[in-house]
Amino acid sequence: QLKLDFYSESCPRAEEIVKEEVKKLYEEHGNTAVSWVRNLFHDCMVQSCDASILLEDAANIVAEKRSDRNFGMRNFKYINTIKNAVESECPMTVSCADIVALSARDGVLLLGGPNISMKTGRRDSRESYTAQVADFIPRHDDSISLVLSRFQSIGIDAEGTVALLGAHSVGRVHCVNLVNRLYPTADPTLDPDYAEYLKRRCPSPEPDPKAVEYARNDRETPMVLDNMYYKHLLSRKGLLSIDQQLTSDATTSPFVEKMADDNGYFHDRFASALIVLSENNPLTGEQGEIRKDCRFVNSI
């Protein structure tokens, strides 16, 4: 069972240590906070919040990072920084899955998002689910109805889905994920001036996936988790096809308007949906393990 302050006896400073490390990393590399938010989605959505996303290739393990749905994910090495700090205080006590959850929570706050109280007590998987990633994580050009049903299946309704996509108020998108909306002709749902700007960012219809060619998710407040995302959607400046579709679908568009209108409302809905996401199907009690190194299952 997950509970608030699960480590209160076994490692009373655990949450504080994570918070300190997340803050230090943010001060050195601001985009680490952005990565922690994306990590939570890509871990929790795939089977369970069990740190399966963190596993590297090893015997019997094919890293989920290899899946094209996890393209562009970064800063994994700094998870080890957080884990090492926690390990030196309390060896083999705090799970990598809880580090994924807590770092996302602390990252959200540093990015100007809501203060979220999150339960802990998740345990780590002993396997990765690379073959299943695509069954859980949608593509950027999937239909809104498919996306809604994926989130529905883990207990997140249409409004929660609209709120969670507000995470695209921070970070970046590589050109490979954008050119489908720019070439051969620009997507008519995209503001024409914005399309011209994006074409300057992404001049080739077939970008090299390894090239560092990208556009900021939100040109105005790229490092603030705010409702600018929804304002941009309403002015037809959504970046991914899935972002822009939120305004054309009758179930989701009223929520876009509400969130564009009221940042506090967006933050409340974002916080509730993030909690549901963070509690998806956890391993608890004696299930799984507490990994010593977040990149590898323990050898026994």
Known catalytic residues?
A: 42
- Please state the closest distance from residue 81 (CB atom) to ligand HEM, in A: 17
**Binder among 98, 226, 249, 279 for Ca ion (CB under 5 A):** 226
Which residue's CB is nearer to Ca ion, number 19 or number 122? Answer: 122
Which residue's CB is nearer to Ca ion, number 179 or number 225? Answer: 225
Q: Which does 147 bind (CB under 5 to 8 A by kind): ligand HEM, Ca ion, none?
A: ligand HEM
Residue 77: is it exposed, middle or buried by C-beta count within 10 angstroms (0-12/13-18/19+)?
exposed
Residue 235: is it exposed, middle or buried by C-beta count within 10 angstroms (0-12/13-18/19+)?
exposed
**Binder among 23, 24, 74, 199 for ligand HEM (CB under 6 A):** 74
Determine whether the annotation assigns residue 46 to a binding site.
yes
Contacts of 266 (CB under 8 A, 6+ apart): 163, 166, 226, 227, 230, 259
Residue 183: is it exposed, middle or buried by C-beta count within 10 angstroms (0-12/13-18/19+)?
middle
Q: Does 238 bind ligand HEM (CB under 6 A)?
A: no
Q: Which does 121 bind (CB under 5 to 8 A by kind): Ca ion, ligand HEM, none?
A: none
Which residue's CB is nearer to Ca ion, number 114 or number 179? Answer: 114
Q: Does 221 bind Ca ion (CB under 5 A)?
A: yes
- Please state the closest distance from residue 102 (CB atom) to Ca ion, in A: 16
Q: Does 38 bind ligand HEM (CB under 6 A)?
A: yes
- Please state the closest distance from residue 111 (CB atom) to Ca ion, in A: 8
Binding site for ligand HEM (CB under 6 A): 34-35, 37-38, 41, 71-72, 74, 138-140, 147, 164-165, 167-168, 170-174, 177, 240, 242
